Every structure is written in C-alpha cells, then in structure tokens.
Amino acid sequence: MSGAAKPRQRAAELRREINHHNYRYYVLDDPVISDAQYDKLLRELQELETKHPDLITPDSPTQRVGAAPSDEFGEVRHSIPMTSMDNAFSDEEVGDWDQRVRKSLEVDGEVAYTAEPKFDGTSISLRYENGLLVQVGTRGDGETGEDVTVNVRTIRTVPLHLEGKDWPDVLEVRGEVVIPKKAFERLNAEQLKQGDKIFANPRNAAAGSLRQLDPRITAARPLSFFPWGLGQTSKTVARRYSELLRLLNDWGFRTTEFFRVAKGVDECLNYYREILAKRDKLPFEIDGVVYKVDDLRARDQLGYTARAPRWAIAHKLPAQEETTVVEDIMASVGRTGVITPVAVLRPVQVGGVTVTHATLHNQDEVERKDVRVGDSVIVRRAGDVIPEVVGVIKDKPRGARKWHMPKKCPVCDSEVIREAEEAAHRCMGGLVCSAQRMGAILHFASRHAMDIEGLGDKLVQQLVDKGMVKTVADIYRLKKDELADLERMAEKSAQNLLDQIEKSKTTTLARFLHALGIPQVGEATAQLLADQFGSIDEIMDAKPETLETIHGIGPAMAEDISHFFHEKHNRGVIRDLLKAGIHWPKPTRVKKSSALTGKTFVITGGLSTMTRDEAKRRLQELGAKVVGSVSKKTDYVIVGEEPGSKADKARELGVTMLGEMEFLKLIAK
C-alpha cells in the first residue's frame, strides 16, 4: 500500500467508526466506548485532516463545526411541496375527520392510524444522495425554503452519512428541529449572562439557531432532529409509515419514543389523553398530537386539499393559562404602523415559558374586557401564539386606571388614526417613524417597489442600527466608504449596491407610490392613482372626496391616503426623494373596456387551473377589483376547493357565487 493510501484508508475507517459511535450515543442512547476513547478517535481524525486537507469529506464528523460565516442563505426549491396540516380542536372534529377518511377509502371498520407528538419546533427537509447529506432546506413558503445545510450539519442527531443499508439513492427526510425544555432554560440563562436577548419559547430558539450566519453559533445550541415523513425518494421504501420510522431509525435517525400505531379513532383519542396527562413531564415542548393514516398507498388515494393532506390531522392541545397582574399598558408600534396595546405583566411562567408581555389586540378589546392597569388577569399561551390577556378575574382594585389609545404616535409624534370600519389604529408617520423604519426601508427597496437589489434584511439592520438610514431618503445619501466599512461588505459590494440605488432612480409613478408604504395602497391602487392623476403633486394635494371618485378607492382608503400625504414629515421625505433624482415618465392613462371593469371579486378556496395570485392578476387586467372580504358591495365570489367562511358569508348576503369552471368561462368572454 502506498504512503498516500494509508492516511486515506485510516481517515475513512475513523469516519465510519466515529459516525457509528455518534449513532449509538445520540440515537440509540447506548454508547459502547467512553467519552475519552471517543475524543481520542476524533483527535486522530482531526490531526489527519490537518496534515492532509484533501482527505476532508462532507460526511466527516469534523465538519459538524468550523465552516466560515456566510453572508446570506441560498434558496432550496422543494421538488415535493412541504404542506401545512389541518387542525382539530375537539374530539368531535377528530371524529369528523375519521369519518371522512373512512368514507373516502370506502372502509366500514376501523382505519389503522399512527399517533405521535406534534413537536413545537421548526420544519426542515434533508436531502441524501447515495447516503450522503448534500442539502438541507427550511419549509419556507412550502415551495421554496432557505438553504441551511451548513448549520444543520452541526446537529448531532442528523446523520451526515446514513447508517445501515438498502436506503434509496435519493432520499429526502423531513422532520422537526427542536430544543429540549431543560436545554432551552440553560440557553436562556446563558443569553442573560452574556447580556443577549432571551428567546420567547423553544420554537423561536430552534428557528433562530438555524438562521445563524455563523454555524459555530448553531453548533453551540442544543438542537435535536425528529423525522416525521419523506419528500422525494428514488424508490419506494415502505408500505406503512410505522415501517418507515423503523427504517429511519436503522438509517441513523432518532425517532420519538412516544410514537404509536392506533387502531381507529378511539385509540387515537386515548393516546391524546395520555399525552395531555404527560404534557408537563415531556422532555420537549409540544402543541398537540398528529394522527396519520398508516398505509402509505391509502394516503395516495386520499390525496390533498389546496393546502393540507387529507390523510393527517393535528389534534391541538388546550391552551395553557396562568394568573398575574397588569403592571402597565403600552402602545406598541409595529413595522406597518399598526398600534397594538400590550399589557406589561408581572412575570409569570405559562407552559414552561416566562411571560412578561401579552397582547390586548386593539382598543375595542381593551374596552370589551375592561382591562385596566393594576388588574389581576388570566394570561393564555397556546403553542407559539403570542400570549394574550383573556379576561379579568376579580373586581377592580383601588387605583386601577383605564387606558386609551394615544392620539399621537409614542415613537415619532405623528398623527394616529383609526381605520374606518376597522379596529386598528395606525401611525401615519410611515416614512419617518423609527418603529416602522426597518419595514419601511425593506418595503421601499423590494422588487415590486423601487427594486434595489442587495438591500436585504441584514444590511438594512446594520444601516438602521448605525444611524446611517433614518428615512428612505437617506438611502440615496449613502457613501461608498461608509458602506465598505460595514460588516461583510467591501469596496466591490458597496459599489454594486450604489449602482443599484442609482438605477432605482428611474422608475414609474405607480412603483414610487407603492414604495412609499401608504396604508391600504398596494400595487393595484398605486396604479389607479398614477393613471388618474399622473402627478405626485396632484395626488399629495387630493382631498378625500376627490380620491373617492376613483373606482376602487372607498372612504376608508381615501382617508388613509389623504392623512398620509398631509403628514408634514412624510411630505418632507418625499421632497428629499425627488431632490435625490427619482424620476419617471408621465404615466399613460389606461382605459379599461372589459365588461368586468368596476366589478368587485373575492376568491376563496384553492383553484386547480391557476394560483389565486394568477386569478387576481387576470381579473385586475380586465379592470376588476379583488378584495379580501365579502360585503354587500361584492359582485362575485369565486369558490374553489375547500372554501372558507367567505363562501358562507356570500350565501348569507346573496352574493353571486362562481365555481372555477364558471369563473374561467366568465374571463374567457
């Protein structure tokens, strides 16, 4: 054997041996060597790879940590979408689901289901080729996720190379990344010690850990992975889900000890009650249990709705509640300017999480529940939902005081208005309010607005934190040397960004209006304004009654537009943007001649021939308006598969309802 072959062979032996010991320790919980012996093997491999870097392979245990920090995450397109799951909140709803399954499968007796905890974590998809982990993506929007391969390699319960044999050449394993309860408490204690922000719950900690640009931070987090299904595979691996989980365990994955096959709906409900009784003692946070049809061929027969599998359902656990005291109520300004009353609470543990703040939703809710500063209240937390005050539990103590929505924004002192016929209050200082700064800048630079490529979340956060961009107009004052000094920037990337900023100065009036982030003004309304007025000055000076004459702009929207442009801070920023050189050709007024011009549509349920966005675009091209809620002014409701409550509302109001085929015939005319 040559001298070069000896290190290569030894490195391969060490990789196989160490990966096997990782499997025994992290998956089987059955180590066969001591920690000292394990460390000795790992050190030997590290020394070999240091001397011979060409021996490093992606499945080497040394590669779980140590990759250089990244500037951003790439994209992963899921060949098979990662769908969401329908929820059941009662035994009756589970029973209804069981009946639908049995009816669809034409089964008179009981169906074999599987039951397992619904981990409160973040979903990912692992892709293996020839047994080697090659790519990991987050769920994202179900079609496209973020590439977090480097970070997931650091998770000890994710095999870098599959164990055993007979795995497919291509295997996508999907599952949940979670943090154990005790490890979460230790992590938050360490965050406090370091002066860093604590995590609200284990799910946020898991998701945040996967999105670290430096994988060494992820490696330091106590993450675990549990598989719950497959994506793409090059061959059929099992006939039943219960069989699949046994195979996944053989191939190196840790599977939950609480998994069970349940015959019929009664055994499912018994399992639910057992898990509910054990909830507080489980090592991980869960927000329900999941029932699935065990037979994989039967799943194919059942198929999917527009957004979820018909063969599975999540039976949610009841929300957890505790009692505490409201020490204050503050007005919190969100990224879009909506102001939410937030109760500042005497710290209380709710479901293993320390809760110090809870939402009161809006002024109407504060008044309806009669929540006052000093009250003892019930606080509810359900899964990853923001904690909320659900009610006052005793008579008002002496000194309890009422709270009212401020008339001026607590952040920027701009006017606060209430949306007509809505419960929301909104700060009208969208271009100057620091609470809205991040959201305003990101929206301004987005593809359908000013389209400034390269101005993403991380860079904008730096610009805001360093005070370099206080309003969107400051984007056009950025200097090359200042940008080059920022983290993960250099002269070339700084110049590229400045080139994109310069390019954005040539735009359209509609894009510019959309970029300003005017409440209720999206792309379609921005185009309406541009077509009708043709001048930014005319739009800024238009009175609400003038705006209302434009079809598609109602009284509430007209008031919002008028208030936005009459806020002197906003007008100042707009003047600065125009001085910076933003310009556009005079808009061409569009004349619609379709029979659908002026008609109002609502779309509910999934469509099979096109996406809902495509349907919306087709209707808008024909001069129609597509809105999100049904009212007496709605002309048509398009009803797709699995429609929601909008269909019921349409029936109640007598609005014309169209099936998908009727809709296609209508637009074909």
Q: How far apart are CA 637 and CA 174, in angstroms?
A: 37
Domains of the chain, first to last: 5-64 (1.10.287.610), 87-316 (3.30.470.30), 320-392 (2.40.50.140), 406-590 (1.10.150.20), 600-668 (3.40.50.10190)
Q: Residue 335, class by beta-carbon neighbours within 10 Å (0-12 exposed, 13-18 middle, 19+ buried)? A: middle
Both structure tokens of 362: 């809006």
Chain position carrying tokens 């408490």: 185
628: DSSP letter: S
- The closest of 261, 246, 231 to 111, measured between CA atoms, is 261
Report for 27-41, 233-247, 312-326, 434-448: range of highest mean pLDDT: 233-247
- The closest of 513, 506, 517, 576 to 542, measured between CA atoms, is 513
The reported pLDDT for the residue numbered 593 is: 55
Contacts 24+ apart (CB under 8 A), 88-94: 88/313, 88/314, 88/315, 88/316, 89/316, 91/269, 94/265, 94/268, 94/269, 94/272, 94/291, 94/313, 94/315
Q: For strand 87-88 and strand 260-263, is the pairing parallel, antiparallel, or unpaired?
A: unpaired
Q: How far apart are CA 504 and CA 446, in angstroms?
A: 11
Q: How far apart are CA 359 and CA 371, in angstroms?
A: 12
* CB-based contact 209:121 (threshold 8 Å): no
Write the pLDDT tens digit of every residue in 48-84: 888 888 888 777 777 665 444 445 678 888 988 888 8
Q: How far apart are CA 441 and CA 457, in angstroms?
A: 9
> Of the ranges 129-133, 209-213, 493-497, which one carries the lowest mean pLDDT score?
209-213
Place 384 in a pLDDT band, splitting at 50, 70 and 90: low
Write the pLDDT tens digit of every residue in 9-33: 888 888 888 888 877 765 665 677 7
Chain position carrying tokens 């005793």: 394
pTM of the model: 0.51
Report the C-alpha dihedral over residues 272, 274, 278, 283, rounded to 10 degrees: -60
Place 507 in a pLDDT band, splitting at 50, 70 and 90: very high
What's the rounded mean pLDDT across residues 630-647? 87
CA-based angle 300:306:310, to the nearest 5?
A: 40
Is pLDDT of 280 > 50? yes
Place 234 in a pLDDT band, splitting at 50, 70 and 90: very high
Higher per-residue confidence, 35 vs 574? 574
The reported pLDDT for the residue numbered 456 is: 86
Write the pLDDT tens digit of every residue in 529-576: 888 888 999 999 998 888 887 777 878 888 889 989 998 889 999 999
Report for 320-324, 372-376, 432-436: range of highest mean pLDDT: 372-376
Is pLDDT of 1 > 50? no
> Of the ranges 209-223, 338-352, 584-598, which one carries the lowest mean pLDDT score?
584-598
Chain position carrying tokens 């793409």: 232
CA-based angle 553:558:562, to the nearest 5?
A: 145
Backbone angles phi, psi at 104, to 5 degrees: -65, -35
Both structure tokens of 454: 């390269």
Both structure tokens of 24: 């025994």
Backbone angles phi, psi at 405, to 5 degrees: -60, 130
Q: How far apart are CA 61 and CA 13, in angstroms?
A: 12
492 in active site:
no
SS3 letters across 359-393: ECCCHHHHHHHCCCECCEEEEEECCCCCCEEEEEC
The reported pLDDT for the residue numbered 334 is: 83
Both structure tokens of 302: 């059942």
Both structure tokens of 159: 């095999």
Is pLDDT of 464 > 70? yes
Both structure tokens of 185: 């408490």
* Exposure letters 386-395 (e unless 16+ CB within 10 A, then b): ebbbeebeee
* CB-based contact 573:472 (threshold 8 Å): yes
Q: How far apart are CA 157 and CA 255, in angstroms?
A: 10
* CB-based contact 241:294 (threshold 8 Å): yes
> Of the ranges 264-278, 320-334, 381-395, 481-495, which one carries the lowest mean pLDDT score?
381-395
Chain position carrying tokens 């001397």: 51
Amino acid at 30: D
Backbone angles phi, psi at 329, to 5 degrees: -130, 125
Q: How far apart are CA 95 and CA 98, in angstroms?
A: 5
* CB-based contact 511:447 (threshold 8 Å): no
Q: How far apart are CA 6 and CA 203, in angstroms?
A: 46
What's the rounded mean pLDDT across residues 648-660? 90
Is pLDDT of 266 > 90? yes
Backbone angles phi, psi at 490, to 5 degrees: -150, 180
The reported pLDDT for the residue numbered 559 is: 87
The reported pLDDT for the residue numbered 53 is: 82
Both structure tokens of 208: 């945040």
* Active-site residue, selected from the candidate residues 6, 40, 118, 633: 118
Is pLDDT of 591 > 50? no
Place 8 in a pLDDT band, splitting at 50, 70 and 90: confident
Residue 181 to residues 19, 242, 279, Cα–Cα distance (Å)? 26, 27, 12
Write the pLDDT tens digit of every residue in 357-375: 898 888 888 888 889 999 8
Scanning 505-590, the segments in alpha helix (DSSP H) are 509-515, 523-533, 536-541, 544-547, 555-566, 568-579
